[in-house]
Structure 1
């Protein structure tokens, strides 16, 4: 088996892991903190997710001999940031993470349940996702308004690097973020001690609390966006690349690894889409049967990044929150554009999609339930009414 490992697969696997981690870890940290996590709990969640992703990718790729790339749910983290804290605090959010993981396992193992998930109209799921993302995508503008000397270099680095190569945009924004923090932000006197204390992997156990609000406000929307924007596209990427895995087993496996990471603050892991295209494409190896090593190498790299998560979190905490929100927003502009394009493509469903988007983006809660759930519910009702009217 080791004879299948090549320099080409190694390089592509390392690149995929770097792109996957660097392009969205800011979103994950912001989402966990938004859900009520402390700095230590957010670092623990980031580490648990990264390590779970790594082991899941390694085991699934070895088992199937296919390039199964795994990622954390970036749209799910954006959902957490948009939803904010719920009654019961972060323990209730962790309880919702566990419920979401169980739903993902059920979607993979129970065919009727999986068909029910697949029946959710893509226009509504996309509109909900766009509504979740729009708030974060405004953060770069707010960062420039907060302090042009700090915010503008981050945005310009993203724009210029993105013109050269799309995958270089967010890493360039991260480099600019590091430079503006080092050169333009007053570093606290105890920063060195805090960074020294952060060295070493520490998991923070969070005893879950299961609440009705957590189920409706976090678990169900997190499940929908993870399945609709990560797991299902991840299977599509593999199919386009010539691989035909059994989707149910892969979905269930990601749900199991989500269960492992949830008590330590991780919200969800799932099949990757962008990095899946990197590991499953010709650049990973000329022979499709040997590309699975790229996903394995990426998995090993994710484990290493997970060990470094506490230090990464401590470094990020030195900067004004709006700057890391700006990096997160820049990382999500592509996802927002894609979701909005799908949501508003068809004139017949455009109004229902618009209502879903607006209710979700409002961030307003009704009866203790966030606008994310109500956006999908009201949009679905409008879609049913429109279809009934056409039949009359």
Structure 2
């Protein structure tokens, strides 16, 4: 394979895998907080285009393989949160505020450090609680629609064993075939097949800000941005974290009025563009992330088709595909939550409260889970003797891979973090 073609193909694969593996989660999340089919389609289009534009801008500016994506854990949070007080306009207002908080984290490093200072077991347990309801969908689908879900799960298992990166896209392809064979032929999706932007005037609701905006900001930072930075650091780069936060936070705020929930650093697919498979020369891998950005923006033009596909399917089947896409993230989050013996009980409390999905005072379970776990940790964790602080490595929360290459010099490319 020629050196110039290799990163381009890696970028195409990154875009395809990133889109196909989790667009169902995005649509499910937007619809859960009150979006109509057209508004959900508009939101998917917005996060695709603005994620792609952010990736192209950052890649060309810094000459680094900075992959950008939507927040899959954030979309799962929307599913777990459900309708918010004030309806869809209040949810859009929460998206705007969450994006502005990410911009603030890029402008004021103490804020990003404060998010990183949240105990990893508590943050991971909150994420696990958010992911659990969707990850149970494959089981429910096998019971409710076994003839459709059985082949989907079987293909996912086989590909997960022999070609892991294609497991979810392969399962989605099988689901598409099953839907095409069984869906009523005269049921067009109300979103339409053509891409469309459906703006909504944001409104501010205190319960939506506390119960959605703040948890969305925390989940996006802890489960996407911090691990995404760690992936780049693991491959020997010095990622411009502050610049990436400012660009993606602004993109999130711009996408919000047309339904986009969050734009951020890619975590799971970041290694596809930053690793040696993208190009043997680390200084050429930025071409892969830029290509992936262009590809994701183009795939966004199919948001109407994707939404129609969801409408033609039994809801539990699409949720099953989304759940399969999040199994790895759930496993990583549970492992991180239970890694520290002194914090396990607090992590379990966080997980249980979040997964319960209860809403109190109009605020969703993710906030109460984080609060309950934090209080539990403060009340019962035994103090330890002071030790020298461990070096910062960005941390991983959502089970994102942070591969390391022995012998690589840190800071081979790029500028110091925070710029």
TM norm structure 2: 0.89
- TM-fit CA distance, 1:188: 4.3
Tell me what 1:180 maps to. 178
Matched, 1:237 2:231: yes
The Cα offsets for residues 349-391 of structure 1, whole Å up to 9 and x where unpaired, read as: 0000000000000011122211110110010011111236779
- Measure the CA separation in 2 of the matches of 1:36 and 1:289: 44
- Correspondence for 2:299 among 282, 305, 328: 305
Does residue 357 of structure 1 match 2:355? no
Partner of 2:417: none
Structure 2: distance between partners of 1:107 and 1:5? 37
Whether 1:120 aligns to 2:118 is yes
Which deviations, in whole Å up to 9, do the C-alpha atoms of 1:226-267 show, x marking residues without a partner? 000100000000011111022112111110111111100010
Task: Look up the match of 1:36.
Answer: 34
CA distance in 2, matches of 1:274, 1:366: 33
Q: Deviation per CA, 1:189-245: give whole Å up to 9, x if none.
A: 243xx59x8233210001101110111111111111100010000000001111102
Which residue of 2 is the match for residue 129 of structure 1? 127
Aligned counterpart, 2:244: 250
- Tell me, yes or no, if structure 1 residue 189 matches structure 2 residue 183: no
Contact preservation (8 Å) 2:208, 2:362: no
What's the CA shift for 1:179? 1.5
- 8 Å CA contact 1:5–1:293 kept in 2: the answer is no
* 1:160 paired to 2:158: yes
Offset from partner CA, 1:120-155 (integer Å, 9 cap, x none): 111101000000000000000001111211111111
In the alignment, what sits opposite 2:56?
58
2: CA distance between counterparts of 1:45 and 1:104? 19
2:93 counterpart (92, 95, 100): 95
Partners in 1 of 2:192 and 2:266 — Cα distance? Answer: 29
Give yes or no for contact 1:61–1:296 (8 Å, CA) kept in 2.
yes
User: How much does 1:341 deviate?
Assistant: 0.3
1:205 aligns with 2:199: yes
Asked whether the equivalents of residues 228 and 270 of structure 2 are also in contact (C-alpha less than 8 Å), the reply is yes
Shift of 1:156: 0.9
Q: Which residue of 2 aligns with 1:228?
A: 222
For structure 2, the 5+ residue unaligned runs are 386-419
The residue aligned with 1:71 is: 69
CA distance, structure 2, for counterparts of residue 281 and residue 189 of structure 1? 46
Unaligned runs of 5+ in 1: none
Distance 1:152 1:383 in 2: 42
Q: CA deviation at 1:161?
A: 1.2
Which structure's residues are more often helix, by fraction?
1
Look up the SS of the partner of 1:95 in the other structure: helix
Q: Aligned partners of 2:180 and 2:301: how far apart in 1? A: 23
Cα distance in 1, alignment partners of residues 218 and 335 from structure 2: 18
Aligned mates of 1:389, 1:366 — CA distance in 2: 32
Change (3 A) 1:362 1:6: same
> Residue in 1 aligned with 2:258?
264
